Chains A and B, each alone.
Chain A
Amino acid sequence: MGKFAILKLAELCQNSSSHCIARIDTFATKPRIHSFYIAIMSTEALSATEKPVQHVNGITVRLVGDSGDGMQLLGQQLTNTSALLGNDVATFPDFPAEIRAPRGTRAGVSGFQVQFASHEVHTPGDTLDALVAMNPAALVTNLADLVKGGLLIVNEDSFEDKDLKLAKLATSPLEDPSMENYRLIKVPMTRLTKDAVAELGLSAKESDRCKNFFAMGLVYWLYGRNMDATLRFIHGKFGSGKSVIADANEKALRAGWAYGETIEAIGNSYNVAPAKLSPGKYRNIMGNQALAWGLLAAAQRSGKELFYASYPITPASDILHELARYKNFGACTFQAEDEIAAICSAIGAAYGGQMGVTTSSGPGIALKMEAMGLAVMLELPLLIIDVQRGGPSTGLPTKTEQADLLQVMFGRNGEAPLPVLAARSPGDCFEIVQEAWMLATRLMLPVVVLSDGYIANGAEPWPIPDVNQLPPIKIEHPVADTHSSAPFKPYARNELLARPWAIPGTPGLMHRVGGIEKEDGTGNISYDPENHQKMVHIRAQKVANAAKLLPPQQVHGPQSGELLVLSWGGTYGACLTAVEQAQKAGRSVAHAHIRYLNPFPSNLGEILSRYEKVLIPELNMGQLRMLIRSRYLVDAVGFNKIKGKPFTVTELVEKIFELSTSPTRESAVRSGK
């Protein structure tokens, strides 16, 4: 029986309501696979396997292929499906900056890693339980992360000589002796997919493009994933009903699933039970999406119209795309001619009394700096969101880094401080922009929110908030005092030193603002030395006053002791997981994750003083460490990684172990031995 028959049988799975198991003899073209079963089942029963199922607590899988192979789509579907099954999930998409790098080359490898588990997870996982590689370049660039004994699924159709050449390989890695370390499953995905969709009359190119869904089907079988959500996605994206492309993708998906069920080389599938998350309704959410939704919520909760101005830049553009879809929320999105115009138009909107927001990444933020200084001088509320990426200059556009902290803190001319907040996870982006908007409007100043590529493209389950419980943001605009003949003072101060947000259209409150130093109170141009000193102090104190509106710093773990791990931004999950592991191993280590980088929480200095050592892991050369050292005179130790990749838990645990005393040694010291 030829390979074609297998697929015919697999196809029968969809059509037959009967249930039988057919035994098929040697696969003619694949002598290594001697025999296998094909389960023929009704469509309803298709997601039930006849093979043994092994229950595991969590799985980390990475899907790698060409940047045109649809790996990101595959990963997102697997993530969504796993979340819908109740697993906790964390993801790490990793793709090249080029849209279509030369096919088959190492530079063109695009990957998506997802960890799904029956317990809470905060990272996409350090090492892989399974690697799905669509070509040799993808295999060799990712194999190092696969655990010994891990499952390695490859599309063997793409290991021809020409493919090896593109990957700059002399021999096939599949023939390498090191393959014995893995459970290698060679699947002729291209051919099987072609056969699966044969009757639809697609071109060779079109049917080849379905092979990612074949791979997905196999992965779904392997991990007991339900295909419903992905089938809905396929028919939603590629057209409902009679779309040939949609049908082809569905056939490929089902063929992949059936292949898993039939092939003998995979003896069992795996099951990951739902995680015990807090009760409630959940959805899967990505960082940039959560950020966009947070902006919509902030606008609505403050009774403002969102004016969002941006210039396309990786990895922030998805925020623009997302908001542009929601014009019915009154969101005005403006794709400006450049980064400077984007922030300046947002400043214009802020002067007009609306919610001005601009987003970018490092290079764009650098261009916005002069205008950020203007916003500091104008004392207008404004949100500047920096989705950080690898730098300097163009750097690593699609890779993550935390190296813009000092840029947003100090990148402006003159004394121009502003509050800086950093999101810690995809879902956190939703809350943090609302918090930032509250600060901006209460204090009348621009606020920076830091995200990063890892958060922006990452996804996690998100407990859907009750819209009515979102904190309202109260904003007042002054009106003219008809009983007073005193001139309006645009730079009068309230108890937080905020000035009134008087907006055009208000009779009697006409005033001019500008970048020139102004007299306190009147706002008139002033070059007076004493006034300048006073105004510089007022602007600094205003930022410092933000601490009064923000909660104190929390510590996770012992409230004093040997070691405190101090983190910020997107490294939250890895640091938390590492600290928890070290704590379980008996180490005296606590974790504090800083959300408010300027001003620091008012109790931070006191917290730092309670620990013998402070470890600050950062994806930069030590920017927070520099701030902490200079502010608190604490000799903090850095752990710095600048590879465009997030921390692994393992490397953090190793560092924590290095800086903390092992429990046995400690008890030995105590007992005087």
Chain B
Amino acid sequence: MSTALPLLKPDDFASDQDVRWCPGCGDYSILAQMKKVLPEIGIPPEQTVFISGIGCSSRFPYYVNTYGVHSIHGRAPAVATGLKLSRPDLSVWVITGDGDALSIGGNHFIHLLRRNVDLNIVLFNNRIYGLTKGQYSPTSVEGQITKSTPMGVVDHPLNPISIAIGAEATFIARSVDSNIKHLASVLKRAAAHRGTSFVEVYQNCNVFNDGAFSYAQDKATRDDATIELEHGKPMIFGKNRDKGIRLNGFSMEVVELGDGKVREDDLLFHDEQADSALVYLLSRMRHPQFPEPIGVFRDVASATFEEAVRGQIDDAVAQRGKGDLHKLFHSGDTWTVGV
């Protein structure tokens, strides 16, 4: 029925289930953008599978009218890997959160990235455990007061983008829940990438960690607090687009444009295929010292895991012929007992 696909609308991807996130939650926006993007991607709902772990974000599969598995805490990458390996024809999305992907599921997360299974991960980062009512998460900032850290968080937070670079992910991006046009474009880019696409979405938990990303969300501040990455273009930001990022040795620095000293050509030009060391420097840019990059950090081509795995199966069949149980059972030493 894929010929009828262009007629699909966002509502065609809405399930009959009531959405049960808190009013005002950033998840609503991500769901809306996903439903908007899915018809544009051009893959029919029956070919699409959403797989999640545990947490607020992980209720996502119930709200899209595709196939879906709401699995167990942290394990969505593993479930998705098995599905994609055995059914490479399907379009698979992993929906996860900062606790799900980086704490209990950290192991599966890095292994999914390094294998480069052709699927998409969307990590809703709200820097808090919402479903269990407000404990600190692996991305909570130092000093953050939460129910489990009344005197402030003492852990150093994990940086999801840095980890993805370390695991050699082939597609790494970041967006913000309220920046809906940007979010939609990043989701589309992720879907188009062959291999594991990792998208971190800054998502506001208005109940337990309200305003964690206000600098990146509020119209008044976001142009100065974020910088949109555009492949091949100089890194310019600011409400008046008068600031830029320059590479100085092994460090990034913010420079003022327009005073005649720094020209656009002096700035760092974003390259999605750049050496991962440079991408890593981008991932370390943190508010308020730096504008935080949003957009596609890295997009490189590499063989997918399922291609390699299925390729070995095909090679084995080509070299040895399709497996024959009779031949296998009678291979090697046998003997006959007479009547």
Contacts and interface: CB of A to CB of B under 8 A. Distances in A.
Interface in A498-521: 504-516
A636 interface: no
B339 A352 contact: no
Interface string B300-337: 00000000011011011101111101101110111111
A504 B80 contact: no
B255 interface: no
B332 A283 contact: yes
Interface string A474-516: 0000000000000100000000000000001111111111111
A529 interface: no
A508 B45 CA distance: 9
Contact of B65 (A80, A85, A510): A510
Contact of A307 (B47, B85, B332, B336): B85
B62 to A, nearest CB: 5
Interface in B110-134: 111
Interface in B80-123: 80-87, 89-90, 107-108, 111
Nearest to A348: B82
Interface centre among A293, A329, A378, A507, by most B CB within 10 Å? A329
Given A327-B316, A505-B89, A349 B82 contact: yes
B329 A309 contact: no
Which of B67, B68, B316: most chain A Cβ within 10 A?
A: B67
A296 B323 contact: yes
A279 B85 contact: no
A516 B131 CA distance: 14
Interface stretch (B69-77, B180-188, B222-230, B283-291): B69-77
Nearest to A507: B46
Nearest to B49: A504
A354 interface: yes
Contacts of A329: 322-323, 325, 328
A467 B323 CA distance: 13
Contacts of A297: 325
B62 A512 contact: yes
B16 interface: yes
A286 to B, nearest CB: 12
A514 B70 contact: yes
A300 B66 CA distance: 30
Interface centre among B48, B326, B337 (most CB of A within 10 A): B337
B78 A351 contact: no
B86 to A, nearest CB: 4
B1 interface: yes
B44 interface: yes
Nearest to A508: B46
Contacts of B335: 83-86, 281-283
Interface in A305-338: 305, 307, 309, 326-332, 334, 336-338
A487 B16 contact: yes
Interface stretch (A8-16, A50-58, A339-347): A339-347
B45 A348 contact: no
A514 B107 contact: no
A487 B65 CA distance: 12
Contact of B107 (A330, A337, A506): A337
A101 interface: no
A398 to B, nearest CB: 25
B51 interface: yes
B61 interface: yes
Contacts of A280: 336-337
A330 to B, nearest CB: 6
B15 interface: yes
Interface in A270-288: 274, 276-284
B337 A356 contact: no
B79 to A, nearest CB: 4
B70 A516 contact: yes
A305 B86 CA distance: 8
A525 interface: yes
Nearest to B64: A512
Nearest to A309: B82
A282 B337 contact: yes
A510 B66 CA distance: 5
A342 to B, nearest CB: 8
Interface residues of B, number: 65
B338 A370 contact: no
Contacts, number: 217
Contacts of B54: 515
Contacts of B248: none
Given A293-B328, A328-B322, A86 B83 contact: no
Nearest to A330: B313
B325 A300 contact: yes
A512 B61 contact: yes
B72 A505 contact: no
A328 B319 contact: yes
B78 A525 contact: no
A625 B317 CA distance: 48
Contacts of A513: 68-70
A465 interface: yes
Contacts of B321: 328
Contacts of A508: 46
Contact of A374 (B72, B83, B86, B108): B72
A467 B107 CA distance: 41
A229 interface: yes
Contacts of B330: 281, 283, 464
A505 B16 CA distance: 20
A371 interface: yes
B3 interface: no
B233 to A, nearest CB: 38
B339 A328 contact: no
A504 B336 contact: no
Given A281-B336, A330-B323, A341-B111, A505 B90 contact: yes
Contacts of A464: 329-330, 334
B42 to A, nearest CB: 15
A35 interface: no
A648 interface: no
B240 interface: no
Contacts of A80: 333
Given A84-B333, A328-B320, A371 B69 contact: no
A334 B117 CA distance: 13
Contacts of A229: 333
A353 interface: yes
Given A283-B332, A514-B71, A506 B337 contact: no
A283 B62 contact: no
B71 A347 contact: yes
Contacts of B69: 347-348, 351, 378, 512-514
Interface in A517-540: 524-525
Contact of A296 (B78, B312, B328, B338): B328
A232 B332 CA distance: 10
Interface in A357-385: 370-371, 374, 378
Contact of A354 (B70, B87, B108, B315): B87
Nearest to B320: A328
A432 B75 CA distance: 29
Given A83-B335, A84-B335, A283-B329, 17 more contacts: A276-B337, A279-B338, A282-B337, A305-B86, A328-B319, A328-B322, A329-B328, A340-B78, A341-B81, A347-B82, A348-B69, A464-B330, A467-B329, A511-B67, A512-B61, A512-B70, A514-B71
21 contacts: A80-B333, A86-B335, A284-B333, A296-B325, A328-B322, A328-B323, A329-B325, A329-B328, A332-B85, A338-B107, A340-B108, A344-B79, A344-B108, A347-B79, A348-B85, A349-B87, A371-B75, A506-B46, A507-B1, A512-B62, A516-B70
Interface of A: 80, 83-86, 229, 232, 274, 276-284, 293, 296-297, 300, 305, 307, 309, 326-332, 334, 336-338, 340-342, 344-349, 351-354, 356, 370-371, 374, 378, 464-465, 467, 487, 504-516, 524-525
Q: List the 4 closest pairs (A to B, CB-CB), nearest first.
A: A514-B70, A345-B82, A329-B323, A348-B82
